[in-house]
Amino acid sequence: MVTPGPAAAVASVPGHLLRTVRAARRVSVLTGAGVSAESGIPTFRGAGGIWGKYDYTRLATPAGFSEDPRLVWEWYRLRQREIWKARPNPAHDVIAAMEMRFEDFHVITQNIDGMHERAGNRKVIELHGNIWRMRCTRDGTMIGIPGPVGEIPPVCQCGSLMRPDVVWFGEALSPAVLEVASQAARESDVMFVVGTSAVVHPAAALPALTKDSGGVVIEVNLEPTDVSTYADVSFFGRAGEIMPALWTLISSPERFMTGHPIIRDR
C-alpha cells in the first residue's frame, strides 16, 4: 500500500497495523542518510548526493587512503564540520522517543554522523562506523573525536597513522556488529525503514529478515525503493514530517482511536 504525504499517511494507516505497532515489544528502526537530510547533511545518492560530487575511490577506499591520507582526512574534516553544525531533526527526535516507549528497541543505522546518539538514543547499532571515532592503522587503538579534527593526518601514540573508524568501499562490516543487527532484525515485531535507498548490502537485506520472520515492515522514504515491494506499508514523504505524524497516531490513547473515522481495517 502506498500513501502520498504526512496527512494522508496518518489518515490511511490500516487499523490492524496500528494495533500491531502499539502492542509491539521488539521494535527496530533501520536508518540511512535520508533521516539526516533535513538536518542539512547531504545524502549519498540522488540530486546533490555526495557520490555525485566526490570520487569515492580517492576518499572512501583503503587504496585512496594509502595513496593520500591527508586528502582523505581533509574530506572527513569537512564532513565533520558540516555534521558538527547540524542539529537532530524531528525524525531523529521521534526515533529517540521510541526507545523510551518500546521494551526492546534498536536503531540500526548506516549513518556515521552520530545524530541518533545526539538525539538521545542509547541502543544504536552502527553498521558503517562513526565519524567521531578514529583508529590506529597498525594496532587498532580506538580514540573518540570530540569535535572536528585539527591537525591532519592524526597520528597514534605508536607513531602510525590514524584513520576514520568508518567502513570504506571494499571493506567488510564487523561480523559481530552485523550479527547483532541481523538478530535484532529477525526478532523485531516491527521494523521501521527510514531514509535509505536500500541498495548497499548487507544493510539493505535487514528488513527482509524482519519480514521473513513474521514481523511488520514500515517504510518512510521520499520515493519507492526495493523495500517498498515487500513492506507492509510505505509512506512517501519527508521523514521529519511523516515520523512525527505517525508517532502522534501510535501514541494516541486507545480511547481516542476507538471508533475514530480515519482508522479502519482493510
Comparing C-alpha atoms, which of 28, 41, 137 is closest to residue 86?
41
Residue 129 CB coordination number (10 Å): 21
Q: Is 110 in the site for ligand OAD (CB under 6 A)?
A: yes
Contact 53, 78 (CB under 8 A): no
Rounded to a whole number, what is the largest CA-CA distance in the chain? 68
Q: Which is nearer to ligand OAD, 1 or 155 (CB)?
A: 1
Write down the least CB distance from residue 219 to ligand OAD, Å.
9
Catalytic residue among 92, 128, 201, 260: 128
Write down the least CB distance from residue 224 to ligand OAD, Å.
9
Q: Which is nearer to ligand OAD, 80 or 263 (CB)?
A: 80
Query: Could you give phi then psi for residue 225, rounded to 5 degrees?
Result: -135, -175
CA dihedral 252, 255, 256, 259 (to 10 degrees): 130
**Segment near ligand OAD (CB under 6 A), from 37-45, 143-151, 152-160, 251-259?**
37-45
**Which residue in 79, 128, 163, 211 binds ligand OAD (CB under 6 A)?**
128
Q: Is 43 in the site for ligand OAD (CB under 6 A)?
A: yes
How many alpha carbons lie under 13 Å from residue 246 in its C-beta half-sphere?
33
Residues that bind ligand OAD (CB under 6 A): 32-34, 37-38, 43-46, 49, 60, 110, 128, 167, 195-197, 200, 220-223, 225, 238-239
